[in-house]
């Protein structure tokens, strides 16, 4: 499908604020509509294009509210030299428009707009080798080195409203280099007429790091005013069906310490049941254990629960319990969640391909 259209409405009810506070600043989306164009060719040219767009109306009883329209088209020119090199430059242009309703703002600041242009140059290659494991099986080791240059210029203003992270885009100027290893197995299944093969990606290992070229950008400041980002590594291991092991970490070359590290294991079955256990660590912020359980009660009915606990102080961070009914083109989700003393009940109806309608309190 080349195009997609999705819409959703979210209403958050905070009983404590509504009953006991003089003002209610709970933010609602009434609604959000997204129209996206997947990457597709421009007829008669070597170019490709794609677009993300979104309209949202943000509403709250007290405080800043308003409309936001965001459009982000992008043009690509993929090129390839034999089987050795792939090079893809692309250019994007983003336009964001706000119409804000707030008595504290001057009338001439109620209508605002922001432009952002960005350039991306993506250079990569790939080498591989096949190793025979037995008469009927083999595996392929593929190595993909990649170099990506990114530059984004943005027009800033303190008058821009803040509703969600899309309102806080920052300029970008960096080079990212990475090395990714893929391990894929191939096993023959003998048939009467001709053999068939099963392919299974057993493992993926990636290392990456960025070099910041802009010494007054948010990325550079957030990295302790250092030019090099932490080294990022991840591994995804799928030794056999129904079991996965995933881990990622960020290591700082300046402090010689891990900025973050996470590891998760998941076990599932043919019926659709699944259990996940995860360890999470972020330096100076969080170290916790997390678990998630999904049980398929009937063909269309799922029950699920998750739980997270802080290792440092032994306090509960989050727990939730829910049930979902899944039909062919729609679903209903009812959930109870408690997080850091805040209790929330939610009810959501999803229409696949169109979006969702729900409420929470």
Mean per-residue pLDDT, 204-220: 80
Kindly report each contact of residues 49-53 with a partner whose C-beta sits within 8 Å and lies 24 or more positions away, as own/partner: 49/73, 49/74, 49/75, 49/76, 50/74, 50/76
User: Could you give the 3-state DSSP secondary structure of residue 60?
Assistant: coil
Q: What is the pLDDT of residues 166-181, one digit of tens each?
A: 888 888 889 999 999 9
Contact between 309 and 277 under an 8 Å Cβ cutoff? The reply is no
pLDDT range class, residue 195, cuts 50, 70, 90: low
Q: Is residue 30 predicted with pLDDT exceeding 80?
A: yes
pLDDT at 154: 80
pLDDT range class, residue 28, cuts 50, 70, 90: confident
Higher pLDDT, 193 or 261: 261
Is 334 a domain residue? no
* φ and ψ at residue 15, rounded to 5 degrees: -60, -40
pLDDT at 23: 79
User: Could you give the 3-state DSSP secondary structure of residue 18?
Assistant: helix
Mean pLDDT of all residues belonging to the chain: 86
Of 236, 137, 145, 259, nearest to 195 by C-alpha is: 137
Taking the C-alpha atoms of residue 322 and residue 346, their distance in angstroms, rounded to an integer, is 9
Is 112 a domain residue? yes
Is 316 a domain residue? no
Contact between 25 and 6 under an 8 Å Cβ cutoff? The reply is no
Is 262 a domain residue? no
Is 257 a domain residue? no
pLDDT range class, residue 342, cuts 50, 70, 90: confident
pLDDT range class, residue 341, cuts 50, 70, 90: low
pLDDT at 244: 95
pLDDT range class, residue 83, cuts 50, 70, 90: confident
pLDDT at 220: 55
Mean per-residue pLDDT, 295-322: 91
Is 207 a domain residue? yes
Is 15 a domain residue? no
pLDDT at 62: 83
Is 330 a domain residue? no
Q: What is the pLDDT of residues 250-295, one digit of tens each?
A: 999 988 999 999 999 999 999 989 999 999 999 988 899 999 999 9
352 CB contacts (<8 Å, ≥6 apart)?
329, 330, 331
* Peptide linkage before 304 cis (omega within 30 of 0): no
Q: What is the pLDDT of residues 90-143, one digit of tens each?
A: 999 999 999 998 655 555 568 888 999 999 999 999 999 999 888 788 889 999
In the chain, the N- to C-terminal Cα span, in Å, equals: 36
How many structural domains compose the chain? 1
Q: What is the pLDDT of residues 48-76, one digit of tens each?
A: 999 999 999 999 888 888 999 999 999 99
What is the domain extent for residue 189? Answer: 80-93+105-229
The percent of residues in the chain predicted with pLDDT above 70, rounded, is: 88
Q: Is residue 22 predicted with pLDDT exceeding 80?
A: no
């Amino acid at each position: 499908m080349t195009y997609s259209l999705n819409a959703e409405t979210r209403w958050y009810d905070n009983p404590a604020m509504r009953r006991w506070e003089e003002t209610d600043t709970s933010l609602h989306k009434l609604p959000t509509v997204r129209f996206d164009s997947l990457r597709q060719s421009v007829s008669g040219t070597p170019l490709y294009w794609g677009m993300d767009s979104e309209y949202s109306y943000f509403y709250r009883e007290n405080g800043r509210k308003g409309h936001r329209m965001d459009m982000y088209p992008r043009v690509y020119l993929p090129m390839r030299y034999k089987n050795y090199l792939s090079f893809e430059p692309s250019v994007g242009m983003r336009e964001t428009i706000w119409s804000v309703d707030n008595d504290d703002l001057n009338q001439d600041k109620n209508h605002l707009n922001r432009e952002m242009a960005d350039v991306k140059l993506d250079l990569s290659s790939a080498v591989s080798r096949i190793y025979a494991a037995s008469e009927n099986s083999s595996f392929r080791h593929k190595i993909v080195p990649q170099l990506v240059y990114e530059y984004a210029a943005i027009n800033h203003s303190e008058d821009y409203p803040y509703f969600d992270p899309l309102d806080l885009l920052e300029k970008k100027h960096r080079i990212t280099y990475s090395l990714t290893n893929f391990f894929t197995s191939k096993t023959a299944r003998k048939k009467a007429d001709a053999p068939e093969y099963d392919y299974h990606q057993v493992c993926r290992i990636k290392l990456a790091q960025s070099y910041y070229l802009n010494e007054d950008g948010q990325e550079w400041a957030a990295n302790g005013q250092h030019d090099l980002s932490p080294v990022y590594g991840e591994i995804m291991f799928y030794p056999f069906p129904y079991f996965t092991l995933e881990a990622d970490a960020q290591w700082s070359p300046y402090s010689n310490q891990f900025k973050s590290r996470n590891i998760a294991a998941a076990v599932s079955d043919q019926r659709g049941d699944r259990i996940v256990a995860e360890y999470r660590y972020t330096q100076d912020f969080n170290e916790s254990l997390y678990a998630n359980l999904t049980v398929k009660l009937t063909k269309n009915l799922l029950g699920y629960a998750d739980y997270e606990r802080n290792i440092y102080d032994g306090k509960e961070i989050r727990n939730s319990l829910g049930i979902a009914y899944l039909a062919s083109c729609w679903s209903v989700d009812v959930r109870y969640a408690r997080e850091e003393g805040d209790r929330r009940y939610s009810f959501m109806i999803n229409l696949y391909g169109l979006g969702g309608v729900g409420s929470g309190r």
